[in-house]
């Protein structure tokens, strides 16, 4: 017998899950709450609403219509937040351009996305100028002068952001449309091949916002987010919607702070002056801030930092906790909107033991509400949740990209068997915490045994003289592959002439404790000045393989 759907009164309102529903909430609850951009500009939610309406009108006057794609190249700013809302709310598609792409990749993504209009911060004019003749499909280029005089350029600008808003009407009729309409898109920063386009609907973004808010508040754990917080993103807004936090922050009406270009002293000053209580970033950003001398004089006991993009090293977690920072891990991907797990500490697992507390915070985490997550073997069977048995992490959730833009083959690979394949290897423990141990393509097979590059990196980073570390597998005639480590030393360790042999001795302590196998100790450890990273601050292992293999 088929299911019986509810009957619908002819005059009943269907209430599509559109981004405009998020937008309206703070205007009811906290219309006078502040949104701050660096030390240059601030306004409240009522004024933010007016500017969102003005932006929609200005874009419409520029010829933007439903289904068109409007791209943005800007630092984290109040303007970007306006674009997060105005563009999808008018029925257009927001393309958040990765500002760190190479010129060829930039042209590829703009062309592949079929961008109609691009809003460009003055700092990115040189790169656009170098490729402007190749952007044949773009109809309008709009300058973001950022409160300064326009830069010298041969580009014929169609408008300037603030001038465009100044001349626009302050009311726009954001009509209803299908909640499955595409709202946003961007390109993955994968380390192989051309960037891949992912896309998300209004419905997906609304549900992700609600899921994210619920996972931060339902467990009475160290994670929390409320209207009393002060939020500042330290993940670029072009990168997976800044992990979806700006939508959540706007919905609950928090005081928001946007730092513009990431400069350590500026960020720390904003944290201090605006009393920032919650941020999120990749490990390299937190590492950068912890190594800024002025942080030692700050009270960071009210600052909550969620780490994602890469695993949270225990050494970094230890250092942050000692400064009073409430730091812990989360996990997701560009393809997943992105949040899948949070390392919420269950009430019965709370402990005053420093080591155990750090271990819990560094776990990949528990699936958020509405995320169904499995760890499977090559035959698609679930592996035991015993804290040891590893497999590939596959997921279902209502906010996962439904494919790669214009790439059916890779889309089918992504969704093989009706589950999204993350390409990550991990295990579940008896409390159902996930722990990612490696990427499928990064795991090292030596003499028939698997070695996790992430576990080796974590052990190396526990050495007090190590600032950064990366491990890759290199070919070996006898063993097939052997781990090869690259290490950046701290300034103090360089002065003390710490050597690769010192680090090997350090690793043997982990062998003796049974944390890593003896065959996991790298034969060669290179002391290097820097380690290659992707455009979003992750270690670029493809580049390292090209360099060292």
Q: Which residues are catalytic?
A: 188, 335, 445, 450
Q: Where are the alpha helices (DSSP H) in 123-244?
A: 125-131, 161-166, 202-215
Separation of alpha carbons 510 and 501, rounded Å? 15
Answer whether 51's CB lies under 8 Å from 82's CB: yes
230 forms beta bridges with: 255
| Biggest alpha carbon–alpha carbon distance for the chain | 79
Element (H, E) at 247: helix 245-252
The Cβ of residue 89 has, within 10 Å, a number of other Cβ atoms equal to 25
DSSP one-letter code for 235:
S
Kindly give the pairing relationship between strand 34-37 and strand 255-258: parallel
Q: Which two tokens stand for residue 358?
A: 């750090």
Answer whether 141's CB lies under 8 Å from 157's CB: yes
Kindly give the pairing relationship between strand 69-73 and strand 140-144: unpaired
Separation of alpha carbons 389 and 544, rounded Å? 29
Q: Is 264 helix (H, G, I), strand (E, B) or coil?
A: helix
Answer whether 160's CB lies under 8 Å from 141's CB: no
Q: Which two tokens stand for residue 104?
A: 């060829």
Residue length, the chain? Answer: 549
Answer whether 23's CB lies under 8 Å from 87's CB: no
Count CA atoms closer than 13 A to 121's CA, side-chain side.
18
Listing DSSP states for 109-149 in one string gives HHHHHT-SEEEEEGGGHHHHHHHGGG-TT--EEEEE-TTSP
Separation of alpha carbons 401 and 418, rounded Å? 13
Q: Provide the b/e sequence for 242-265 (b: ≥16 CB within 10 Å).
A: bbbbbbbbbbbbbbbbbbbebebe
Q: Is 239 helix (H, G, I), strand (E, B) or coil?
A: coil
Kindly give the pairing relationship between strand 93-96 and strand 69-73: parallel
């Amino acid at each position: 017998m088929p299911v019986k759907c509810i009957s619908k009164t002819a005059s009943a309102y269907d209430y599509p899950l559109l981004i405009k529903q998020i937008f309206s909430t703070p205007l009811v609850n906290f219309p006078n709450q502040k949104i701050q951009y660096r030390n240059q500009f601030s306004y409240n939610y009522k004024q933010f609403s007016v500017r969102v309406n003005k932006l929609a009108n200005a874009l419409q006057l520029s010829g933007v219509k439903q289904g068109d794609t409007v791209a943005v190249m800007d630092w984290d700013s109040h303007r970007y937040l306006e674009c997060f809302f105005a563009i999808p709310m008018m029925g257009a598609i927001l393309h958040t351009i990765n500002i760190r792409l190479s010129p060829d990749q930039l042209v590829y993504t703009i062309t592949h996305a079929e961008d109609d209009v691009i809003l460009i911060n003055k700092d990115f004019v040189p790169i656009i100028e170098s490729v402007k003749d190749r952007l044949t499909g773009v109809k309008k280029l709009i300058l973001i002068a950022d409160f300064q005089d326009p830069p010298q350029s041969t580009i014929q600008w169609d408008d300037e952001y603030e001038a465009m808003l100044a001349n626009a009407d302050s009311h726009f009729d954001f009509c209803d449309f299908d909640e499955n309409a595409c709202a946003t898109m961007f390109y993955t920063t994968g380390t192989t091949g051309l960037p891949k386009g992912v896309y998300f609907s209004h419905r997906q973004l609304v549900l992700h916002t609600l899921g994210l808010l619920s996972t931060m508040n339902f467990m009475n754990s160290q994670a929390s987010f409320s209207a009393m917080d002060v939020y500042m993103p330290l993940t670029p807004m072009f990168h997976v919607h800044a992990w979806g936090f700006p939508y959540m922050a706007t919905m609950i009406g928090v005081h928001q702070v946007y730092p513009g270009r990431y400069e350590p002293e500026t960020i720390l000053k904003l944290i201090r002056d605006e009393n920032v209580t919650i941020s999120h970033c990749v490990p390299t950003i937190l590492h950068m801030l912890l190594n800024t001398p002025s942080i030692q004089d700050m009270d960071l006991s009210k600052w909550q930092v969620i780490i994602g993009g890469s695993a949270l090293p225990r050494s970094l977690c230890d250092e942050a906790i000692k400064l009073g920072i409430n730091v812990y891990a989360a996990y997701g991907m560009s393809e997943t909107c992105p949040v899948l797990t949070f390392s919420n500490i269950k009430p019965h697992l709370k402990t005053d033991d420093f080591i155990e507390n750090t271990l819990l915070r560094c776990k990949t985490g528990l699936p958020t509400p509405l995320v169904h997550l499995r760890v499977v073997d090559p035959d698609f069977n679930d592996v035991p949740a015993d804290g040891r048995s590893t497999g590939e992490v596959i997921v279902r959730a209502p906010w996962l990209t439904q494919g790669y833009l214009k790439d059916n083959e890779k889309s089918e690979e992504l969704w093989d068997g009706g589950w999204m394949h993350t390409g990550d290897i991990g295990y579940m423990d008896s409390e159902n915490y996930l722990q990612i141990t490696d990427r499928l393509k990064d795991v090292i097979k030596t003499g028939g045994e698997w070695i996790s590059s992430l576990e080796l990196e974590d052990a190396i980073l526990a050495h007090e003289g190590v600032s950064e570390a990366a491990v890759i597998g290199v070919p070996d005639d006898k063993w097939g592959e052997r781990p090869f480590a690259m290490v950046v030393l701290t300034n103090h360790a360089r002065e003390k002439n710490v050597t690769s042999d010192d680090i090997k001795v350090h690793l043997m302590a982990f062998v003796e404790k049974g944390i890593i196998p003896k065959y996991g100790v790298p034969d060669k450890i290179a002391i290097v000045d820097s380690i290659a990273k992707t455009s979003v601050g992750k270690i670029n292992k493809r580049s390292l393989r090209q360099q060292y293999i």
